[in-house]
Copies of this chain bind each other. A is one copy, B any other.
Amino acid sequence: MDKRSVLQARKAESVGQQVCLEGWVRTRRDSKGGFSFIELNDGSCLSNIQVVADNQLPNYESEIKHLTPGCSIRVVGEIKESQGKGQATEVQASEVFLYGTADAETYPLQKKRHTFEKLREWAHLRTRSNTFGSVFRVRNRVSFSIHQFFQERGFLYVNTPIITASDCEGAGEMFRVTTLDVDQPPKVNGKVDFSKDFFARPAFLTVSGQLEGEIFATSLGKVYTFGPTFRAENSNTSRHLAEFWMVEPEIAFADLEENMEVAEAFLKRIFTDVMNDCAEDMEFFNERIAPGILDTLQSIVDSEFLRCSYTDAIDILQKSGQAFEYPVTWGMDLQSEHERFLTEQHFKRPVILHDYPRTIKPFYMRCNDDGKTVRAMDVLVPQVGEIIGGSQREERLDVLESRMKEQGLNAEEYWWYLDLRRYGTVPHSGFGLGLERVLQFITGMGNIRDVIPFPRTPGWAEF
């Protein structure tokens, strides 16, 4: 007897096959005619398959009639054309084997709806619900799409380090990693002696793999990282996680124009794949969570992303007549309200802003000749604002050193980063995309904690 997934068994071409299906009961209802309908789900797709079990089955009275949501079963039977609506097939069971019960008195996922907040406390069971099954199938597809996009273009996947000894980017608060006995740490001169720690120095969790990614780009050409990243910020918002996954391509011999082209093609590829390959899940989000998201994604795929300089954007904003909470002046960091006005109301499509003021950007971005701006870019999309941030990197040793001095960084700590400019330096560019941010956009899930399997936030590291 061949095993089949529910996804396979739901296809019309499966009619007539004798199959074995395994999964979890979503609902059971009994017909007056002496049989029961069991809705079975195995996670292979959003939909269930209907199993028809009649009272001639030996365990009908003893087990089948007592099946409740959450029970696990194996069904052997024939796939038949379904008379019911919304499904091509159903299974006429010749055997229903009960693996495990789920006490209806205590099983948390009864039919009644739970809030997403409540389900976060049951992160070990929420994946059995429609919404979270769809979220994690979409997350899987997006993750693989990311790999496919870069692999097909000859990028090498690189694992930059998670534990790092330097806060290279100054990008944010970091978590310390230690094996010292924090109750009784070794001390010198009244201070903790980190030379006794595991790495013989202070060590932290990475905030970005970019700088190490540049090492690989400036030797192997085109690379990307895709791994966990950490921020120890006490931000209890719907858009922040202490642990999240980030994609960071880095491209040798690429200027900002090429960087923009890659970023645009990359987003379009992700959106196209998820619409093609998670059609059922995306219909669900489009109906229940984010009305119109399919139209939005399709329009992004179909549109050419606009390019607009920061300076022109400031001009547009100032002349817009809009009352912004944060007044618009050249040199400021754009707020979400500004970004959304530009992409949603002014341009009405995705826009890539470029050439930002040097004073608001990190030291590694390439300086323009105007002395005022750097070759930074942000990709803005409707509803979210910034979804990708990147830049051409400063490849000139002297300029980089003076920028580091300007920002008060210690050049000695960056000896290897400077070596990349000292020996065979090349123009290069890259960008970063937060996986969970793009998943929030695609699914419409309001809280970022609901698009990652086990969120880590201030005060929360359960599971």
**Residues on A close to B: CB < 8 A?**
3, 5, 7, 22-25, 42-44, 70-72, 74, 99-103, 106-107, 123-125, 127-128, 133, 136-137, 139-140, 143-144, 147, 151, 154, 156-165, 173, 175-180, 182-183, 185, 190-192, 198-201, 203, 205, 212, 215-216, 219-221, 227-228, 230, 232, 234, 242-243, 245, 252-253, 395, 416-417, 419-427, 452-454, 456, 458-463
A22 to B151, CA, bound (A): 20
User: Which chain B residues border A3 with CB–CB below 8 Å?
Assistant: 253
Q: List 11 A-B contacts (CB under 8 A).
A: A5-B221, A22-B253, A100-B421, A125-B419, A128-B219, A133-B220, A161-B453, A162-B162, A162-B228, A173-B179, A227-B228
User: Which chain B residues border A426 with CB–CB below 8 Å?
Assistant: 22, 72, 99-100
A128 to B420, CA, bound (A): 11
Select from chain B the residue with minimum beta-carbon distance to A245. B159
Q: Is the CB of B159 within 8 A of A453?
A: yes
User: Which chain B residues border A453 with CB–CB below 8 Å?
Assistant: 158-161, 212, 215-216
Q: Is the CB of A144 within 8 A of B163?
A: no
Q: Is the CB of B161 within 8 A of A454?
A: yes
Which 4 A-B pairs rank lowest in CB-CB distance, beginning with the nearest?
A: A43-B220, A100-B425, A72-B424, A127-B219
Chain B nearest CB from A118 CB (Å) reads 15
Q: Is the CB of A201 within 8 A of B424?
A: no
Q: Is the CB of B99 within 8 A of A425?
A: yes
Q: Is the CB of A182 within 8 A of B179?
A: no
Q: Is the CB of B43 within 8 A of A165?
A: no
Q: Is the CB of A459 within 8 A of B161?
A: no
Chain B nearest CB from A227 CB (Å) reads 7
User: Which chain B residues border A424 with CB–CB below 8 Å?
Assistant: 24-25, 70-72, 99-102
Q: Is the CB of A423 within 8 A of B228?
A: no
A107 to B252, CA, bound (A): 20
Q: Is the CB of A176 within 8 A of B173?
A: no
Q: Is the CB of A179 within 8 A of B175?
A: yes
User: Which chain B residues border A183 with CB–CB below 8 Å?
Assistant: 190-192
Q: Is the CB of A161 within 8 A of B243?
A: yes
Q: Which of A42, A71, A421 has the most CB of B within 10 A?
A: A42
A161 to B423, CA, bound (A): 39
User: Which chain B residues border A221 with CB–CB below 8 Å?
Assistant: 5, 23, 42-44
User: Which chain B residues border A420 with CB–CB below 8 Å?
Assistant: 124
Chain B nearest CB from A114 CB (Å) reads 15
User: Which chain B residues border A227 with CB–CB below 8 Å?
Assistant: 227-228
User: Which chain B residues border A5 with CB–CB below 8 Å?
Assistant: 154, 221
Q: Is the CB of A460 within 8 A of B199?
A: yes
User: Which chain B residues border A99 with CB–CB below 8 Å?
Assistant: 395, 424-427
Chain B nearest CB from A62 CB (Å) reads 18
Select from chain B the residue with minimum beta-carbon distance to A462. B165
User: Which chain B residues border A201 with CB–CB below 8 Å?
Assistant: 461
User: Which chain B residues border A125 with CB–CB below 8 Å?
Assistant: 219, 419, 423
A165 to B243, CA, bound (A): 14
- Checking B101, B106, B143, B461 against A164 with a beta-carbon cut-off of 8 angstroms, the contacting residue is B461
Select from chain B the residue with minimum beta-carbon distance to A164. B461
User: Which chain B residues border A22 with CB–CB below 8 Å?
Assistant: 252-253, 426
User: Which chain B residues border A234 with CB–CB below 8 Å?
Assistant: 198
Q: Is the CB of A199 within 8 A of B123?
A: no
A425 to B458, CA, bound (A): 32
Q: Which of A43, A452, A458 has the most CB of B within 10 A?
A: A43
A381 to B243, CA, bound (A): 36
Q: Which of A128, A452, A454 has the most CB of B within 10 A?
A: A454
Q: Is the CB of A199 within 8 A of B458?
A: yes
Chain B nearest CB from A375 CB (Å) reads 17
Chain B nearest CB from A167 CB (Å) reads 13
Chain B nearest CB from A395 CB (Å) reads 7
User: Which chain B residues border A163 with CB–CB below 8 Å?
Assistant: 175, 230, 242-243, 456, 461
Given A101-B424, A182-B182; 7 other pairs, CB 8 A cutoff: A70-B423, A103-B422, A127-B215, A144-B147, A163-B243, A178-B182, A198-B458
Q: Is the CB of B179 within 8 A of A178?
A: no
Select from chain B the residue with minimum beta-carbon distance to A175. B177
Chain B nearest CB from A246 CB (Å) reads 12
